[in-house]
Structure 1
Amino acid sequence: MSIDFHARKNKYTYATRTADEGWARAVSAAVDPRGKRVVDVGCGGGIYTRSWDDLGAQSAIGIDFSEQMVAAAREKAQGRPQVSFQVGTAQATGLAAASADIVFERALIHHLQDYDDCFAEAYRLLAPGGTLLIQDRTPEDVRIPGSPEHIRGYFFDCFPRLAAVEAGRRPTDAKVRETLRRSGYTALESTTLWETRRTYEHFDDLAQDLANRTGRSILHELDDEELKTLIAYIGERTGRTGPIQEKDRWTLWVARK
């Protein structure tokens, strides 16, 4: 089974965290967000849309194809007049051409079969000289072994079939670069970053987060009994102690129009 992004029960699954300071440093090193018009495509519950506002963006618009997640994003962004959300897709956002200085796509493209239409839409949105930032995991990122810091690695140690799911959906650096060039982008760069997902004071807090499958679409491939097995497996390897600082490795591509 896979996650249903449109289900009410999953409304807040991508809305409850705050972005890590390490993420803020990484994106700020790639592009200066101050005074810029940012479009966050595939925004989910708006965690990173709000973060662009915190970094000084002139405006931050989140786009997602799930009405439930857009509703959650609006709730969480109350009191932020520069932040707004609307329903749209990565291929058709509904926004005006040349209306963005930065287009941001985090954890989006691994849900797409191909990237041409997505990158073309981002190119259309960008003003001349604008920047597209793509953050996702490559197969190399997800093959890092599990550890108390890299909890995600334990998913694949415990259930090797999940590794095949990841291998089939994660973007390769070569494919991303090839599609970006084909779409007209220049000055292509990429880097890796470790982003702290969350710090848990106690293992039980992590266990509850895993049980809820919060922000982890891969866990929807497991049934409830398998998920219990995974949580027990992770508990054994972390010693069920805290605090636990969960980190994930990502690849960040930077492309200019």
Structure 2
Amino acid sequence: MTKHIPIPVYYLFSVTAAVLIWQLLSVTVFPSIFFPPPTQVAETAVRLIENGTLPSHIQISLQRILLGFFIGSLIGFPVGLVLGANLLVRRLVEPFVHFFRFVPPIAWVSPAIIWLGIGEASKVALIIYTTTFMVLLNTLTGVVSIDRNKLLAARSLGASSLQCFFFVVFPATIPFIFTGMRLAMGNSFMTVVSAEMIAAQEGLGYMIIHARLFMALDQIFVGIICLGLLGWGTDTVLRFLIRRFGSRYQPVA
């Protein structure tokens, strides 16, 4: 019977229940100054939208995320393909990959500001750093996990090394690249918020940290909700593009 109920109905029910619980807790358990009710948060969101503050912060953060994500993805997947396909190069570069992937982007905020300034370049560079390693590692994993029998079969049919790469290795790695991109998108949101909290005059991260100075928890909640909705929205678009253009490369279950 549940198969005939549209998925949005489940979403609507769960979100409505969560908002009602939130409202109940904020008026019965916690003081509103420490845990503002959803009605107050909604009023604050409307006010910030009307005066243009919220759309401006959203636009700035989203621009930084998408630019850094796009550049980082373009760097990450070809480098991952090369490292996976060439054992010698992989052995030479592997120590640096494993070293830097454990250094979180927030650790590079101060050097990025010193080297690139407090403007857009430092924040976009941090997102590029985040995205590159996430996509690179997933791509590398995809290449090295390819069944050797597939390569041997292609070789036995007369395929050259270049043909094996483009017609066997690359298609088999595409699902791993897509997975890396989805993971990188989530990390990009965390990175941009951290950078904006430390060195920015615009963006959702700046709005959240600035509101903290005035104990404006309603504005902080607005920023948090916007980040969640933006992340959900971008991931939904990315999943749609993956299904639209990459479904034929997905392994058969």
The structure that is helix-richer by fraction is: 2
TM-score tier after normalising by the smaller chain length: under 0.3
Q: TM-score, normalised by structure 1?
A: 0.22
Q: TM-score, normalised by structure 2?
A: 0.22
Structure with higher RCO (Cα < 8 A, 6+ apart): 2
Larger Rg: 2
The structure that is strand-richer by fraction is: 1
